Structure 1
């Protein structure tokens, strides 16, 4: 690959991406543009702007953007319409943020005339795949630079030496090895590495940042109501809210009750297994509520087909194929299924759990007249079930008769 002339870097303002910024300048002699996204990670982003300025980035080349609403509206909510869960447990909080970051990197590259983008993902993880597949899907001609796969800064000591040599400020708490690494956004926090690498050892309490210990959560349950329109949450406790505000509120409620903790060993796309500690309080409530409203508004056939499609959809997101034609095709089917997924769900939050305890909708398919144990006034003729059973039993009876004949 020829040396880039201008690079758009996904920049957090932290030590690692600051080292990458300076490395790009020294290694390639190129102009660097920074992009810092507010995805709801809970950190003040203005220091990232100031840090970029101190590292010689022109003010016009520093992009700090609040993308929380776009993140939830265009990425998180479409994913939750599918009830997407990877390997039965993981709500894909890190995975779903990467295509948005890549999208903005490519867009800013086009706006600024940059010919390359760069990210700080390592060569062992999934994020390098997600960043790069998304970037190439949006611009097949873009150059992608992954310094962790190129440089010789292979130890913490070498990284700190490079930082000192290039006058990059190093916070005192960065001198020693961090006990674990954290990725956070409005949907979740993800912690992995170091103290968490042995899957046989229980994660220390200090790893959890967004949720209280369920044992220390309030001793009284809290009941909340989430309103939906066409599969998306639009209100909490009767108050209409924007997508990001809904998720923020559910995070607050779930965190208080210790909802959404997950200790997971997952199969990475690159082949290895890794152990992570995830906290997804609002997302856990949202998934439970969405399934609750679907249960009374969706036809059985549509629901069951959607549940069959879900693992494939979740794997596409996990593996970085958000902008692929197959994900788009599945999304169209999923969105079509949500036409009548409108109504309200009541949930009970208590000691780490979020459980549906009520649901209602003007679009409901639930008919009390058909399921009642009392007199159904002719709504359902129970005698009809006999023929239904006989027709469905015919092939089973034929199989059983053949097997008995062969045994005899």
Structure 2
């Protein structure tokens, strides 16, 4: 039997690699996806080989992740429950896709992952793999084994000579990629307490951020961010740069109660500096270039798109159809937006576009050239007719 394992190099997946070999008498192929996480994938590759992986795939998927997943959500203005930029949620379909592709190339019988039963990721991996290769078996070692305590895990590692990362004193569980970082566990489980400053790793506290604001000009072409302060940057460089400058100004911290798709409420603490800036800029540019009805209706579909991403329905017909809508909308979304970064806030202060629907002659109270004020009385009379009729019937109040 051959199994392809989504391998991070951490404790759980290192144990899982050895456990799969032993439990299923299997050849295990390890797949490490570089999504911009902080972990050293060179160490992960070496550890996978030391633990008996028959082969190891280490792939830089940052560009694909941003262009085909994160930026798709950006142009849809998809933010889960109005706050969460879904860095983890967006990465899982890509990992699932590559697991399937590698499994087919390796003639593997199954794929495996290190997600737990309480989290969303188990569903995202399972749903993605089932949609792309329903014939493949999906194995979740953490939900099958009896290594439920740290003592049992250490004992298993010692008995089977499993190379595992050095234990760290941090009580937190972190998941990172180039689009954002999530933090759970430890003191964060007490929702009555503010997150300790040590939780945050890529953003400064707003209190210690620079006392002078920074203006950043973001350029979009057809809804895709491609320029910062007039300089054209590739997606990876652009997001890394914004993570650095916005994080320095304390932008992108989020602390929310989150409704997981498995039915429980959890506290989610996130850092997403680049995403926070890009969403503010993109939404404001859309407001400049889209007609009122289209801009407002799009918000309804944005909410649904975020729910599909979060709820493991990336590989769904509805998500594909919504993409067609957003692809049409983004043809108008070209221009530049200036965002002021200051003490934890990202505020749009200027915007311009060749597709702008802002018309000074109509909008300005200083201009009388284009707007016929006398038409206002008739318009107001007709617009207020439902309320007038209800008032005459005594149906109001």
Deviation at 1:128, TM superposition (A): 0.5
Contact kept, 8 Å, 1:73 with 1:244, in 2: the verdict is no
In the TM superposition, what are the counterparts of 1:1-400 in structure 2 within 5 Å?
5-58=1-54, 61-174=55-168, 178-377=170-369, 379-400=370-391
CA distance in 2: counterparts of 1:210 and 1:52, whole angstroms: 28
Determine helix, strand or coil for the equivalent of 2:312: coil
Determine helix, strand or coil for the equivalent of 2:187: helix
CA distance in 2: counterparts of 1:148 and 1:18, whole angstroms: 11
CA distance in 2: counterparts of 1:186 and 1:196, whole angstroms: 23
Determine helix, strand or coil for the equivalent of 2:103: helix
TM-score (norm 1): 0.95
Determine helix, strand or coil for the equivalent of 2:261: coil
CA-based RMSD of the aligned residues comes to 1.4
More deviation, 306-315/22-31? 306-315
- What's the CA shift string for 1:253-311, capped at 9, x where partnerless? 11110100011110100011111210000000000110121121111111111001111
Determine helix, strand or coil for the equivalent of 2:313: coil
Deviation at 1:43, TM superposition (A): 2.6
Deviation at 1:171, TM superposition (A): 4.2
CA distance in 2: counterparts of 1:197 and 1:15, whole angstroms: 21
Contact kept, 8 Å, 2:47 with 2:164, in 1: the verdict is no
Determine helix, strand or coil for the equivalent of 1:339: helix
Deviation at 1:387, TM superposition (A): 1.9
CA distance in 2: counterparts of 1:92 and 1:168, whole angstroms: 33
Deviation at 1:28, TM superposition (A): 0.3
Determine helix, strand or coil for the equivalent of 2:348: strand
CA distance in 2: counterparts of 1:172 and 1:50, whole angstroms: 14
Contact kept, 8 Å, 1:9 with 1:118, in 2: the verdict is yes
Contact kept, 8 Å, 2:203 with 2:251, in 1: the verdict is yes
- The number of residues matched between the two structures is 397
CA distance in 2: counterparts of 1:389 and 1:140, whole angstroms: 59
CA distance in 1: counterparts of 2:350 and 2:166, whole angstroms: 51
Determine helix, strand or coil for the equivalent of 2:135: coil
Determine helix, strand or coil for the equivalent of 2:347: strand
Deviation at 1:172, TM superposition (A): 4.1
- What's the CA shift string for 1:14-65, capped at 9, x where partnerless? 121000000000000011111001101123211111111111223xx21000
Deviation at 1:173, TM superposition (A): 2.6
CA distance in 1: counterparts of 2:176 and 2:367, whole angstroms: 55
Over 3 Å counting, the alpha-carbon distance change for 1:171 and 1:144 in structure 2 is closer
Deviation at 1:206, TM superposition (A): 0.7
CA distance in 1: counterparts of 2:331 and 2:268, whole angstroms: 36
CA distance in 1: counterparts of 2:180 and 2:299, whole angstroms: 23
